[in-house]
A and B are shown apart, each in its own frame.
Chain A
Amino acid sequence: MKTLHRHIEDSEQMLALGQQLAQRANQGLLIYLYGDLGTGKTTFSRGFIQARGHQGKVKSPTYTLVEQYELSPAVYHFDLYRLADPEELDYLGLADYLTPPVIWLVEWPEQGGDFLPQPDLSLHISHQGTARDVRLQAQSDKGQKLLTELANAPST
């Protein structure tokens, strides 16, 4: 399955979507999150990261560009909002963060251009009044398999 839509009513449902994907990421996963300010990218990430076993806070990485979570596998939560030029990614030493298995959640990946690797999955989040539409798009075999599982899973 290549694409899947989810209608999200509120932040609880966004957290739940994060949890559902997190439960299927044991082998590592690269997820890119597209959507305007305030659509819930960080909320999704919080649901995801806490479901991976992180007990504490999930702070916005806007200022630090990347927050690292020492879980198994390791989770890197990026926010490229403040990048002005994709080349600046070199300064982050991205290659160090790619040793598999690893999980990446990347907010504002469009700021990273060609300097970012191909993800397994991209989420496109848009406003529908106060609700959100989430289009999940698979971009690798792993991503396709995951979407198929997600589509067949009992809805929550």
Chain B
Amino acid sequence: MNVLGIETSCDETGIALYDNDKGVLAEALYSQIATHAEYGGVVPELASRDHIRKLSPLITQVLKDSGCTPVDIDGVAYTQGPGLVGALLTGAALARSLAWSWDVPALGVHHMEGHLLVPMLEDPAPEFPFISLLVSGGHTQLIQVDGLGKYQILGESVDDAAGEAFDKTAKLLGLDYPGGPALSALARQGNPERFTFPRPMTKRPGLDFSFSGLKTFALTTWQQHQDDNDREQLKADIAKAFEIAVVETLLFKCKRALKQTGLKRLVIAGGVSANQGLRDGLTRLQNELGIEVFSPRPARCTDNGIMIAYAGCLRLQRGESNDLNFQVRPRWSLENIN
């Protein structure tokens, strides 16, 4: 089955063709963030999240790259939610219309299900069941994945997502927003012994996270050392202490989730999974607990069309499809997926 996937939940326009026999046939991605990063990391503009302008050329490109024509397509999957309502509607309306004109089924897919399942396309792929840590600018969640559509949120951030805490702390230290990666780079020059930041919510039971207080802790530390002669070193030392606190907290909760569930496979995805401190920590965890750690390639950690095509294909193969109506779900919990 050959499925066209359309992802338009936020900043990225992602298109892909996935065939359950042949794998990923072609993909195309337009990212407003990447374009702006070349010009110094300007805040992505919603106004230019113009999926309408990008969708048609990207679909044409994917068809061309794959050597397919519309008659080769057996289904169309699109992101139904969660996300920005206008962005979702654009993709959904086009997907539904294309499927109608090509006389194939259409199916709305949950964005986070795409993120959870896309590691299955890697080699080696994790087998069900596994624990997934989704950690990005918008999400910090620990999820138990038992199979297609069988997801249980074990814990999540009660306030700021980890990536958001990185970006905002970077901003407090005078770096450009979003400055998470710059903060990590700065942390490499930092002295890990100088400051110790709290590890939020590790002293009480449960698997929830809270990162908002770390941001304020960083700010207070910064203000208390305003008389420092070496401001750059101060910044780096704060960045280091902050990064260690976030990474240690994430690892602590992963470990607790694995112990609590007795599972032996951990998947890590989302933009923050590129953080070197986190990667090193996961290697330690792997050795310490005798578990397997999986991570999709970086391009599939962030939003993309492949994950939608893949999740859509699995569900279309089960016989699921939408009727001629379509609706988007800007707020949609993963646990209300079926």
> Interface residues, chain A, CB within 8 Å of chain B?
37-38, 40, 42-43, 46, 57-60, 62-65, 67-68, 82-85, 87-88, 91-93, 127, 129-130
Decide: A60 near B159, CB < 8 A? Known: A42-B212, A85-B45.
Answer: yes
B246, chain A: closest CB distance, angstroms: 15
Q: Which 4 A-B pairs have the closest CB atoms?
A: A63-B138, A88-B46, A84-B45, A57-B158
Contact check, B86 vs A60: say whether CB atoms are below 8 A apart: no
> Interface residues, chain B, CB within 8 Å of chain A?
42-47, 49, 82, 84-87, 137-138, 156-161, 164, 168, 171-172, 208, 212, 215-216, 218-220, 223, 331
Q: How far is the CA of A92 from the CA of B330 in the complex (A)?
A: 11
Contact check, A88 vs B161: say whether CB atoms are below 8 A apart: no
Decide: A60 near B46, CB < 8 A? Known: A38-B219, A68-B331.
Answer: no
Contacting residues, chain B, for A43 (C-beta < 8 A)? 212
Secondary structure dominating the interface of A? loop
Contacting residues, chain A, for B82 (C-beta < 8 A)? 64
Contacting residues, chain B, for A127 (C-beta < 8 A)? 223
Q: How far is the CA of A85 from the CA of B84 in the complex (A)?
A: 16
Q: How far is the CA of A65 from the CA of B85 in the complex (A)?
A: 11
Q: How far is the CA of A93 from the CA of B328 in the complex (A)?
A: 14
Contact check, A82 vs B164: say whether CB atoms are below 8 A apart: no
Decide: A65 near B42, CB < 8 A? Known: A37-B168, A38-B215, A59-B158.
Answer: no
Contacting residues, chain A, for B158 (C-beta < 8 A)? 57-59
Contact check, A64 vs B172: say whether CB atoms are below 8 A apart: no
Contact check, B43 vs A60: say whether CB atoms are below 8 A apart: no
Contact check, A37 vs B171: say whether CB atoms are below 8 A apart: yes
Contact check, A83 vs B160: say whether CB atoms are below 8 A apart: no
Contacting residues, chain B, for A63 (C-beta < 8 A)? 137-138, 161, 164
Contact check, B42 vs A57: say whether CB atoms are below 8 A apart: no
Partner of A82, one of B43, B86, B161, B218: B43
Q: How far is the CA of A60 from the CA of B167 in the complex (A)?
A: 13
A125, chain B: closest CB distance, angstroms: 12
Q: A37-B219, A64-B82, A88-B46 are in contact. List 16 more A-B contacts (CB 8 A).
A: A37-B168, A38-B172, A42-B212, A46-B159, A57-B158, A57-B208, A60-B160, A64-B84, A67-B331, A68-B331, A82-B43, A83-B43, A84-B46, A88-B47, A91-B46, A93-B86
Partner of A59, one of B137, B159, B215: B159
Contact check, A65 vs B172: say whether CB atoms are below 8 A apart: no
User: Chain B residue with minimal CB distance to A82?
Assistant: B43
Q: How far is the CA of A152 from the CA of B154 in the complex (A)?
A: 45
Q: How far is the CA of A131 from the CA of B179 in the complex (A)?
A: 27
A108, chain B: closest CB distance, angstroms: 12
Decide: A62 near B160, CB < 8 A? Known: A37-B168, A91-B46, A93-B86.
Answer: yes
Q: List 14 A-B contacts (CB under 8 A).
A: A38-B172, A38-B215, A42-B159, A59-B159, A59-B160, A62-B164, A63-B137, A65-B84, A83-B43, A84-B42, A85-B46, A91-B86, A92-B85, A130-B220
